[in-house]
């Protein structure tokens, strides 16, 4: 039993990483109606930035906020330079642009930092703490804690600030938002910036568990897709819940379903996506629940 | 159908022209909808634009608020509106309540109204006084629409159609607009609710001297509250004049009101 | 919806010009393997083979407006189907083609039905996940697929009466399949499926009102599209004689999509141009750096979307039109100052398909 609980906690740890990447996807989807296929790669680049900062001697806990700030600016810049010119074009056009960005960023990272793997420093202490008979690694707790703090801040931003209100208004009805005098461009930039920030968080947190290399976020992106599909692409709360569920499901499947093992775990999100689409295509937190976010 | 298309400045005796539309062309891509219409609205007047489905009524409003591009000239108190985006015309005091209401369904009623007051946010010394003014306006809107106060914490999406229309108008009033554009407020509503809405629009117009342009298929209702009215057909104005006169014109009642009754079934 | 954008325009070019051009091209295609070195012939064979996948992908993306990021995986399924059949059951090569095609068609339907129930990008998500999942799956079933080592299988041998070398024979086999594919795709687009796709792409809700069963037709289009990927995969096994999981990474899927976009969406020649791009550009770029193909592809895709949404094929069509206008201008310059005839400016059969310039988003109420 305690081993099972342990697996669940591990799953929540992995899941909170997927949750933040899924949240990044959902943020952009809510504003623009598209899926940003480059989200994982942007997170990867942010992680390289963090690595570069740490490698040049900056302490991790300073490098993290600096990286998040750089990512925020980068996300805004991408919206302004890359997405704005195709705004109003058919969905397909914008999606293909994000696919192009995916390919480009992946290759560019390889060009700058090479394709050889790098070690990313583990920011949390070694060892574990016993809670209710379950040994939980500090690293798992740390990941959960950091994600929880950032989610809490985002919640405050969206629910209790004027900027958050404006952003929710734009997501709910862009045309009416404009008629109320809201400048869409700024809000969209902000949305992309925030998405890049939460995405970057997932990259920085996952990097110590994996190795740092240009393809590191490919798998995480698919888990995040599954999380967003499960939660509903319109629901930030759903993305977080979906991320946790997907993380736990993945960990349990890897541990207890012999056939799956470590190498076929990537089939779990595919299965989840297909099942959700067949059973409840709008996701667990479809439209109706969104406003209670 | 050779009603008289009056060139705007000529036939406006009562007040100075506040909104001046001349030779307005507009459309979507290849499809041209408006073929050069012109009219003017005096300050503090209600102007009704009538006509069958597809005549270009909605397009007219969209051109005024910048939702579609228009050619020609539209001035509000002397300022050119054409060539501006919706967020820019809003800054000039144009509040457009779009067809289908355009409420923010995920937001609560009160949040909807606060978004309406978005442009009135101020920093620095005037922040506090403006906040007080916005709070007062919130009360004012709740005064017009008591139902909204009851539901202030409810999501806009959960309101009835009539309540959503009230909310949409309330949101527009939060801007303290100089010009209020209403697109088919009666659409999909029960006659009683519609009558009530129009009564409130008239009250707002009288109490605050807000200039209103209302687009309607339900000509009877609109003519009851309007000062001036224009009849659009196939993108051209076919008749303009004081509302009473148009209401009494037997030909109009027959031709256009008849059309409007039939078209409503389709739309 | 006229079928005008599917057929190339037969305007004022002389009647005999098109059959003549077709004859010349056919002759050139047949003569090619006799005049080039085996290595060049092999490369051209690969171009034809990629053209088959891209023709199928074009059906989905160009005409259906849906994205697949996993066509490399269907290609792999086709390739492995053929390889396993040849390896285990020692069937003839010809038998592998229909099996690979049918298998991928069904698989496509299996993914397409759930993924296309909703409007949106779920197909792209599902196919991407599939493309990532397939290589580890192939490695897992080692006893069938040969695991990471892959499978080596015999290539089809030319019958002695032909007197052809192996590379020439493979070229002709691929050429035949590619020609049949292009014909099938053309007919598909002229059929109900094609009209439904166009209706869907232009306006989903209007198409629904017209009674087009959206999700069904989209799933069907995807199945066809996956089938062509499978056919091409099968050809790949014939031509290369070797399959391994690493040949079919996500990279392949993305390269295919990139090739199609650059070649030209919703155009007849787009897949061919795209296939040449997929064959030659990565090799050229690879010489610079292993990351260079990605950088080039990424930038090219974005540039195409900004500057020429109709891709290379669109540019070619535009150039052709330009030349024609000049010729017309010279011809009519004395009679009329206006060079282009009204038919060319406003006539309904548009010479250039315009896949990505949809009507404005604000609908008329």
SS (H, E, C) chain C: CCHHHCCCCCCCCCCCHHHHHHHHHHHHHHHHHHHCCHHHHHHHHHHHHHHHHHHHHHHHHHHCCCCCCCHHHHHHHHHHHHHHHHHHHCCCHHHHHHHHHHHHHHHHHHHHHHHCCCCCCHHHHHHHHHHHHHHHHHHHCHHHHCHHHCEECCCCCCCHHHCCCHHHHHHHHHHHHHHHHHHHHHHHHHCHHHHHHHHHHHCHHHHHHCCCCHHHHHHHHHHHHHHHHHHHHHHHHHHHCEECHHHHCHHHHHHHHHHHHHHCCCCCCHHHHHHHHHHHHHHHHHCCCCCHHHHHHHHHHHHHHHHCCCHHHHHHHHHHHHHHHHHHHHHHCCCCCCCCCHHHHHCCCCCCCCCCCCCCCCCCC
A247: in domain: no
Is the per-residue pLDDT at C205 higher than 80? no
Contact pairs from chain A to chain C, CB under 8 Å = 146
Q: Which residues pair with B182 in a beta bridge?
A: B97, B214
For the segment A165-176, what is each residue's pLDDT rounded down to a tens digit? 999 999 889 999
User: Is B262 in the A-facing interface, judged by CB distances under 8 Å?
Assistant: no
* C354: chain B residues, CB-CB within 8 Å: none
Contact map slice: C 137-166 vs A, CB within 8 A: 137, 139-140
Q: Region B101-116: what's the mean pLDDT?
A: 92
A57: in domain: yes
For the segment A73-96, what is each residue's pLDDT rounded down to a tens digit? 999 999 999 998 888 787 888 888
Measured CA to CA, the distance from residue B235 to residue C100 in angstroms comes to: 58
C199: in domain: yes
Q: Please indicate whether, in this complex, the C-beta atoms of A103 and C129 are within 8 angstroms of each other.
A: no
* B118: chain A residues, CB-CB within 8 Å: 166, 169, 180-182
The domain of C67 spans 40-252
What are φ and ψ of residue B127, in 5° steps? -60, -50
Measured CA to CA, the distance from residue B21 to residue A85 in angstroms comes to: 32
Per-residue confidence at C317, pLDDT binned at 50, 70, 90? confident
Global pTM value: 0.82
For the segment C84-118, what is each residue's pLDDT rounded down to a tens digit? 999 888 788 888 999 999 999 999 999 888 888 77
For the segment B127-175, what is each residue's pLDDT rounded down to a tens digit? 888 888 899 999 999 999 999 999 999 999 999 999 999 999 999 999 9
Please state the domain count of chain A: 1
**Across the interface, which of A82, A88, A218 has its CB nearest the CB of C250?**
A218
* A175: chain B residues, CB-CB within 8 Å: 67, 86, 98, 102
A10: in domain: yes
* A266: chain C residues, CB-CB within 8 Å: 129, 132-133, 136
Residue of C nearest to B267 (CA): C365
Q: Report the first-to-last Cα separation within chain B, whole angstroms.
A: 23
Q: Region A49-68: what's the mean pLDDT?
A: 94
Q: Please indicate whether, in this complex, the C-beta atoms of C365 and B100 are within 8 angstroms of each other.
A: yes
Residue of A nearest to B64 (CA): A179
The domain of A109 spans 2-212
User: Is A173 in the B-facing interface, judged by CB distances under 8 Å?
Assistant: yes
Q: Report the first-to-last Cα separation within chain A, whole angstroms.
A: 34
Q: Please indicate whether, in this complex, the C-beta atoms of A291 and B121 are within 8 angstroms of each other.
A: no
What are φ and ψ of residue B36, in 5° steps? 80, 75
User: Is A181 in the B-facing interface, judged by CB distances under 8 Å?
Assistant: yes
Q: Range with the lowest mean pLDDT among A1-5, B77-81, C148-152? A: A1-5
**Across the interface, which of A162, A169, A175 has its CB nearest the CB of B121?**
A162
- Give the DSSP letter string of chain B: -------TTTT--SS-EEEEEEEEEEEETTEEEEEEEEEEEETT-EEEEE--TTSSHHHHHHHHHTSS-EEEEEEETTEE-TT--HHHHHHTTEEEE-TT----TTSBHHHHHHHHTGGG---GGGHHHHHHHHHHHHHHHHHH-HHHHHTTTSBGGGS-HHHHHHHHHHHHHTT--SEEEEE-TTTT--HHHHHHHHHHHHHHHHHH--EEEEEES-HHHHHHH-SEEEEEETTEEEEEEEHHHHHH-HHHIIIIIHHHHHHHHH-
Measured CA to CA, the distance from residue B257 to residue B255 in angstroms comes to: 6
* C365: chain B residues, CB-CB within 8 Å: 58, 99-100, 183
Mutation target among A92, A215, A276 for the C interface, most CBs of C within 10 A: A92
Per-residue confidence at C280, pLDDT binned at 50, 70, 90? confident
Per-residue confidence at B12, pLDDT binned at 50, 70, 90? very low
Q: Region A126-146: what's the mean pLDDT?
A: 85
Q: Please indicate whether, in this complex, the C-beta atoms of B86 and A168 are within 8 angstroms of each other.
A: no
* C361: chain A residues, CB-CB within 8 Å: 88
Measured CA to CA, the distance from residue A269 to residue C114 in angstroms comes to: 15
Q: Please indicate whether, in this complex, the C-beta atoms of B100 and C364 are within 8 angstroms of each other.
A: no
A47: in domain: yes
Q: Please indicate whether, in this complex, the C-beta atoms of B90 and A291 are within 8 angstroms of each other.
A: no
Q: Region B207-225: what's the mean pLDDT?
A: 89
Interacting residues of B172 by C-beta distance below 8 A, sequence separation 6+: B95, B96, B97, B116, B180
C264: in domain: no
Is the per-residue pLDDT at B217 higher than 70? yes
**Residue C232 has which token pair?**
């091409």
Q: Please indicate whether, in this complex, the C-beta atoms of C359 and B99 are within 8 angstroms of each other.
A: no
Percent of chain C whose pLDDT exceeds 70: 82
A258: in domain: no
Residue of C nearest to A86 (CA): C306
A223: in domain: no
Please state the domain count of chain C: 1
Per-residue confidence at B260, pLDDT binned at 50, 70, 90? very low
Residue of C nearest to A93 (CA): C305
Measured CA to CA, the distance from residue A230 to residue A277 in angstroms comes to: 9
Q: What is the pLDDT of residue C142?
A: 85
Is the per-residue pLDDT at A144 higher than 70? yes
Q: Range with the lowest mean pLDDT among B6-10, B154-158, C246-250, C255-259? A: B6-10
Mutation target among A84, A170, A181, A236 for the B interface, most CBs of B within 10 A: A181
Per-residue confidence at C363, pLDDT binned at 50, 70, 90? very low
A245: in domain: no
Is the per-residue pLDDT at C259 higher than 60? yes
Mutation target among A40, A86, A99, A179 for the C interface, most CBs of C within 10 A: A99
Per-residue confidence at B9, pLDDT binned at 50, 70, 90? very low
A182 Cα to chain C: minimum distance (Å): 18
- Write down the ipTM of this complex: 0.88
Q: What is the pLDDT of residue B250?
A: 60
How many Cβ atoms from other residues are within 10 Å of residue C74's Cβ?
A: 37
Please give the C-alpha separations between residue C193 and each of C199, C210, C214, C215, in angstroms, as whole numbers: 10, 14, 10, 12
Contact map slice: C 56-75 vs A, CB within 8 A: 61, 65, 67, 69
Measured CA to CA, the distance from residue C278 to residue C256 in angstroms comes to: 7
User: Is B244 in the A-facing interface, judged by CB distances under 8 Å?
Assistant: no
For the segment B57-71, what is each residue's pLDDT rounded down to a tens digit? 999 999 999 999 999
Is the per-residue pLDDT at C212 higher than 90? no
Q: Please indicate whether, in this complex, the C-beta atoms of A111 and C289 are within 8 angstroms of each other.
A: yes
Is the per-residue pLDDT at B227 higher than 80? yes
Q: What is the pLDDT of residue C83?
A: 93
Is the per-residue pLDDT at A191 higher than 60? yes
Placement of tokens 């504003």 in the chain: A31
Burial class (CB in 10 A: 0-12, 13-18, 19+), A128: middle
Is the per-residue pLDDT at B113 higher than 50? yes
C137: in domain: yes
Q: What is the pLDDT of residue C268?
A: 82
Please give the C-alpha separations between residue C154 and each of B104, C77, C163, in angstroms, as whole numbers: 64, 18, 19
Per-residue confidence at A134, pLDDT binned at 50, 70, 90? confident
Q: What is the pLDDT of residue B19?
A: 94
A63 Cα to chain C: minimum distance (Å): 27
User: Is B100 in the A-facing interface, judged by CB distances under 8 Å?
Assistant: no
Q: Range with the lowest mean pLDDT among A1-10, A106-115, B45-54? A: A1-10
* B33: chain C residues, CB-CB within 8 Å: 364
C304: in domain: no
C122: in domain: yes
Rounded to 10°, the helix A217-231/A184-206 angle is: 120
**Residue B226 has which token pair?**
């309007």
Per-residue confidence at C209, pLDDT binned at 50, 70, 90? low
Q: Range with the lowest mean pLDDT among A191-195, B179-183, C223-227, C353-357? A: C353-357
C341: in domain: no
Is the per-residue pLDDT at B23 higher than 90? yes
Q: What is the pLDDT of residue C336?
A: 47
- What does the H/E/C string look like for chain A? CHHHHHHHHHHHHHHHHHHHHHHHHHHHHHHHCCCCCCHHHHHHHHHHHHHHHHHCCCCHHHHHHHHHHHHHHHHHHHHHHHHHHHCCCCHHHHHHHHHHHHHHHHHHHHHHHCCCCECCCCCCCCCEEEECCEEEEHHHHHHHHHHHHHHHHHHHHHHHCHHHHHHHHHHHCHHHHHHCCCCHHHHHHHHHHHHHHHHHHHHHHHCCCCCECCCCHHHHHHHHHHHHHHHCCCCHHHHHHHHHHHHHHHHHHHHHCCCCCCCCCCHHHHHHHHHHHHHCCCCCCCHHHHHHC
Measured CA to CA, the distance from residue C116 to residue C66 in angstroms comes to: 9
Q: Region C274-278: what's the mean pLDDT?
A: 90
Q: Which chains touch B (3 or more CB pairs under 8 A)?
A: A, C
Mutation target among C108, C133, C197, C311 for the A interface, most CBs of A within 10 A: C133
Rounded to 10°, the helix C311-332/C250-263 angle is: 10
**Range C223-257 burial, b when 16+ CB lie within 10 A, else e:** bbbbbbbbbbbbbbbbbbbbbbbebbbbbbbbbbb
User: Is B58 in the C-facing interface, judged by CB distances under 8 Å?
Assistant: yes
For the segment C10-32, what is each residue's pLDDT rounded down to a tens digit? 455 567 777 888 888 888 888 88
For the segment C160-202, what is each residue's pLDDT rounded down to a tens digit? 888 888 888 999 999 999 999 988 988 888 887 777 777 777 6
C293: in domain: no
Q: Please indicate whether, in this complex, the C-beta atoms of A177 and B104 are within 8 angstroms of each other.
A: yes
User: Is B187 in the C-facing interface, judged by CB distances under 8 Å?
Assistant: no
For the segment C332-353, what is each residue's pLDDT rounded down to a tens digit? 655 544 444 444 333 333 333 3
* C360: chain B residues, CB-CB within 8 Å: 28-29
Q: Which of A8, A3, A18, A17 is nearest to A251 (CA)?
A: A8
Is the per-residue pLDDT at A200 higher than 70? yes
* B105: chain A residues, CB-CB within 8 Å: 172-173, 291
C362 Cα to chain B: minimum distance (Å): 8
């Amino acid at each position: 039993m305690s081993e099972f609980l342990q697996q669940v906690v591990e799953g929540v740890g992995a899941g909170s990483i997927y949750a933040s990447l899924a949240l990044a996807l959902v943020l952009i989807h809510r504003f623009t109606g598209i899926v940003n296929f480059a989200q994982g790669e942007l997170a990867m680049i942010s992680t390289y930035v963090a690595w570069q900062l740490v490698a040049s001697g900056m302490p991790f806990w300073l490098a993290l906020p600096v990286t998040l700030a750089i990512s925020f600016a980068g996300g805004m810049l991408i919206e302004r330079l890359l997405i704005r010119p195709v705004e109003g074009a058919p969905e397909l056009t914008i999606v293909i642009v994000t696919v192009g960005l995916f390919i480009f960023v992946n290759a560019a990272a390889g060009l700058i930092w090479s394709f050889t793997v790098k070690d990313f420093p583990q920011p949390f202490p070694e060892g574990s703490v016993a809670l209710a008979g379950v040994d939980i690694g500090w690293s798992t707790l740390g990941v959960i804690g950091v994600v929880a703090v950032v989610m809490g801040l985002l919640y405050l931003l969206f629910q209790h600030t004027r900027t958050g209100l404006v952003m929710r208004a734009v997501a709910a009805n862009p045309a009416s938002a404009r008629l109320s005098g809201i400048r869409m461009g700024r809000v969209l930039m902000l949305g992309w910036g925030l998405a890049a920030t939460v995405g970057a968080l997932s990259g920085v947190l996952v990097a110590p568990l994996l190795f740092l290399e240009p393809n590191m976020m490919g798998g995480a992106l698919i888990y995040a897709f599954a999380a967003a599909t499960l939660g509903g692409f319109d629901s930030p709360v759903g993305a977080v819940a979906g991320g946790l569920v997907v993380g736990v499901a993945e960990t349990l499947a890897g541990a207890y379903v012999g056939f799956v093992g470590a190498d076929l775990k990537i089939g779990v999100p595919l299965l989840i996506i297909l099942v959700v689409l067949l059973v409840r295509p709008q996701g667990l937190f479809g439209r109706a629940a969104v406003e209670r976010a | 159908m050779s009603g008289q298309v009056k060139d705007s400045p000529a036939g406006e005796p009562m007040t100075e022209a506040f909104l001046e539309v001349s030779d307005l062309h507009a459309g979507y891509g290849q499809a041209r909808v408006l073929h050069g219409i012109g009219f003017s609205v005096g300050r503090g007047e209600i102007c009704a634009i009538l006509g069958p489905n597809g005549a270009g009524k909605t397009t007219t409003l969209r051109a005024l608020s910048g939702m579609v591009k228009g050619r020609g000239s539209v001035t509000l108190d002397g300022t050119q509106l054409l060539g501006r985006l919706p967020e820019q015309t809003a800054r000039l005091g144009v509040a457009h309540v779009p067809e289908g209401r355009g409420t923010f369904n995920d937001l609560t009623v009160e949040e909807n109204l606060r978004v309406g007051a978005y442009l009135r946010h101020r920093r620095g010394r005037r922040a506090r006084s403006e906040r007080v003014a916005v709070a007062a306006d919130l009360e004012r809107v709740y005064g017009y629409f008591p139902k909204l106060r009851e539901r202030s914490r409810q999501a806009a999406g959960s309101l009835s159609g009539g309540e959503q229309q009230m909310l949409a108008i309330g949101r527009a009033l939060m801007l303290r607009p100089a010009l209020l554009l209403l697109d088919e407020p009666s659409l999909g509503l029960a006659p009683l609710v519609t009558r009530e809405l129009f009564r409130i629009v008239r009250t707002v117009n009288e109490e605050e001297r807000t200039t209103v342009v209302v687009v309607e298929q339900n000509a009877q209702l609109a003519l009851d509250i309007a000062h001036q009215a224009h009849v659009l057909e196939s993108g051209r104005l076919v008749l303009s004049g004081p509302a009473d006169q148009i209401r009494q014109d037997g030909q109009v009642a027959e031709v256009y009101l008849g059309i409007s009754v039939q078209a409503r079934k389709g739309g | 919806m006229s079928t005008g954008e599917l057929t190339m325009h037969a305007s004022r070019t002389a009647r005999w010009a098109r059959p003549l051009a077709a004859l010349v091209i056919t002759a050139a295609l047949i003569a090619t393997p006799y005049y080039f070195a085996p290595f060049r012939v092999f490369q051209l064979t690969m171009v034809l083979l990629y053209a088959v996948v891209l023709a199928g992908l074009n059906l989905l993306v160009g005409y259906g407006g849906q994205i697949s990021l996993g066509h490399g995986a269907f290609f792999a399924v086709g390739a492995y189907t053929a390889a396993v059949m040849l390896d285990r059951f020692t069937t003839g090569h010809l038998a592998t083609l229909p099996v690979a095609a049918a298998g991928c068609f069904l698989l496509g339907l299996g993914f397409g039905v759930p993924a296309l129930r909703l409007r949106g990008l779920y197909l792209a998500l599902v196919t991407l996940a599939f493309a990532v999942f397939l290589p580890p799956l192939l490695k897992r079933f080692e006893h069938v697929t040969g695991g990471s080592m892959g499978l080596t299988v015999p290539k089809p041998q030319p019958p002695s009466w032909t007197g052809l070398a192996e590379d020439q024979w493979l070229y002709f086999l691929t050429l035949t399949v590619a020609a049949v594919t292009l014909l099938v795709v053309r007919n598909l687009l002229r059929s109900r499926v094609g009209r439904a796709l166009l209706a869907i792409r232009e306006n989903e809700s209007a198409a629904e009102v017209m009674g087009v069963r959206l999700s069904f037709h989209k799933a069907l289009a995807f199945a066809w599209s996956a089938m062509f990927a499978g056919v091409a995969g099968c050809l790949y096994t014939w031509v290369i004689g070797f399959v391994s999981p690493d040949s079919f990474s996500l990279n392949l899927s993305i390269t295919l999509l990139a090739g199609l976009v650059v070649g030209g969406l919703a155009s007849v020649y787009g897949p061919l141009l795209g296939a040449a791009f997929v064959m030659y550009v990565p090799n050229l770029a690879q010489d610079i750096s292993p990351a260079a193909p990605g950088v080039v592809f990424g930038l090219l895709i974005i540039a195409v979307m900004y500057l020429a949404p109709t891709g290379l094929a669109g540019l070619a069509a535009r150039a052709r039109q330009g030349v024609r206008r000049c010729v017309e201008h010279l011809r009519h310059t004395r009679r009329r100052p206006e060079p282009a005839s009204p038919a060319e400016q406003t006539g309904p059969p548009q010479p250039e398909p315009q896949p990505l310039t949809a009507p404005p988003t604000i609908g008329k109420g």
